[in-house]
A and B are shown apart, each in its own frame.
Chain A
Amino acid sequence: MSVKDFINYVRSKNLGDVLQDYPIAKDFLANFRLDGITKALPLPQALATVEEETLDEFGLNREGVLLKFCLFLEDFAQAEEATGTAASLTILGGFNKLKEPENINLTIASGEVVSVVGPTGSGKSRLLSDIECLAQRDTPTGRQILINGAALDELQRFEMGGKLVAQLSQNMNFVMDLTVREFLEMHAKGRLAKNTGEIVEKCFLCANELAGEKFSIDTKVTQLSGGQSRALMIADTANMSNSPVILIDEIENAGIDRRQAVELLAKSEKIIFISTHDPLLALRADKRIVIKNGGIDKVIEICEAERKSLAAIERIDHTLQMLRNRLRTGEIITEELLK
């Protein structure tokens, strides 16, 4: 519907019905301190009961409110349709810190997981930020990022920027004072999801599967443990985030099933970059980008031999996990346990 259609629609229906059709419009009214307005009349008539002075404080008059309201509906009706899609992402190499060419042409399809490895300060974040800003040979590295095989013009870059990439890092926290349910509902609302209840439930179950220690949906997000928070963030990103690309800065190994986490994210048909030094994660990826001297040194496809070693690594990890659990429950650690 165009703005004009919305104006006709809003004029012909009681405000209460409009709010039923577009629940998000409640927020609009609250933003302009109009939440108390009568719902039993169409908006123009309802506005007649509001004092001009109140509207004036927002720099608006009655006509202005009507127009803004319809623009708001149009915007969010559109946003509902347009979600960013990226079936593939291509990295065309630039230069490293020594000005040597990277000679890289790497295409990653949705559902693929790529790990990024390299010493601290080698340029891993630089790569991730090139991806985030959709570099077009205009960042210090000279790299170019293609989406679905095509270069992007300035406008597309700005439009996609911010929506393309979701990020997860170790120092992220929840700062809202909400329960898990309220938190998920709030995010679902922001996405204008129709089946809120369903998505919330799915996300919650998924987070609980990833978390070492289970939590209830009525727990405050700020009271979750580190592992539980991370589990909720991952479940939420996989199920609810619109962004087709996810950048992850290490998943710590406390209180969360990392293998399941990566599998879940890959299943969500997203393109995943994970910066990690954890062999369990790196070998579970499809490809591995090695960074050296600020540039991509090489790209390793995970081969059968590497994958086979996963089982052995998992056994080691298992042993460590067992030792941790023993420590936690106050038991004694002996050499016997390691045999």
Chain B
Amino acid sequence: MKLVTVAGPPSSGKTSVILKLIEGMDLAKGSIGVVKFDCLTSFDKRSYQEAGIPVQVGFSGKICPDHYYVSNIEDAVQWGIQSGLKLLITESAGLCNRCSPYINGILSICVIDNLSGINTPRKIGPMLRFADIVVITKGDIVSQAEREVFSFNVKQVNSSGKVIFVNGITGQGTFLLAKYLEQARDTQTLKELKLRFTTPAAICSYCTGETRIGEKYQMGMLKKLEFEGI
């Protein structure tokens, strides 16, 4: 089974891109499955089901979504293999610009949209920096110049990544993306493979449910902002 990981900020168009991509791939219906890692709620399960795509959805709840992703990704792979999938796509929402749910040797796609602001590519960090393919959506409603500047800014932080413009509504661009996906390598297990980048670190009192404010409640890994002029 081939495995592809897709990440991107909330509402950047990940699900639309994946739906159009699957539609355009030359594989039997039901042989491409999706595992969606989300935080609190998601309305995408139905979209996938309506398209006849085998789907599993998991919610990280109060846990960092990336930590949740790493702890569950091997099980997702085994689910895919047992379900007889030819291709498994995992989808996860990056929340803090610090997410990077990519694994060495596994084809990784980052989805970002043209409306998110011209400098956003420079701010996103590892989620964009470590992706093999950068899919830019919503390009149909901004000017050519903005598309060019946007992809230039993507190139600045990820010069080796391939940039593809995809229209999540019409599916324009998914053809090239599908071509890339054919290169994804076969995967039986992810055991012993490594993440491309560390997940956001947080082992402090607030991780374990502390809600009170003040120094005496802060324990564990902390980082303080240094205010100038004090």
Contacts and interface: CB of A to CB of B under 8 A. Distances in A.
A173 B197 CA distance: 36
A294 to B, nearest CB: 15
B173 interface: yes
Interface residues of A, number: 43
A236 B156 contact: no
A154 B145 CA distance: 27
A24 B155 CA distance: 12
B122 A167 contact: no
B144 A233 contact: yes
Contact of B180 (A28, A125, A158, A172): A158
A240 interface: yes
Contacts of A28: 156
B211 interface: no
A71 B160 CA distance: 10
Contacts of B115: 175
Contacts of A229: 143
B92 interface: no
A158 B178 CA distance: 12
Given A71-B159, A72-B159, A162-B163, A139 B175 contact: yes
Contact of B164 (A154, A161, A186): A161
A166 B156 contact: no
A227 to B, nearest CB: 14
B159 A158 contact: no
A169 B125 contact: no
A167 B144 contact: yes
Contacts of B140: 167, 169, 171-172
Contacts of A72: 156, 159
A61 interface: no
A174 B125 CA distance: 25
Contacts of B114: 175
Contacts of B159: 71-72, 75
Given A169-B140, A174-B143, A129 B172 contact: yes
A186 B118 contact: yes
B176 interface: yes
A57 B91 CA distance: 24
A175 B146 contact: yes
Contact of B145 (A58, A125, A240): A240
B189 interface: no
Interface string A180-211: 00010011001100000000000000000000
B146 A174 contact: yes
Contacts of A172: 140-144
A31 interface: yes
Contact of B149 (A132, A133, A187, A233): A187
Given A27-B122, A175-B141, A236-B145, 15 more contacts: A28-B156, A58-B125, A72-B159, A129-B172, A133-B176, A154-B179, A158-B180, A162-B164, A168-B144, A172-B141, A175-B142, A176-B118, A187-B145, A190-B149, A241-B148
Interface of B: 114-115, 118, 122, 125-126, 139-146, 148-149, 151-153, 155-157, 159, 162-165, 170, 172-173, 175-176, 179-180, 197-198
Which 6 A/B pairs are nearest by Cβ-Cβ distance?
A190-B152, A75-B159, A187-B145, A190-B149, A166-B144, A236-B145
Interface of A: 24, 27-28, 30-31, 58-59, 71-72, 75, 79, 125, 129, 132-133, 139, 154, 157-158, 161-162, 166-169, 171-176, 183, 186-187, 190-191, 229, 233, 236-237, 240-242
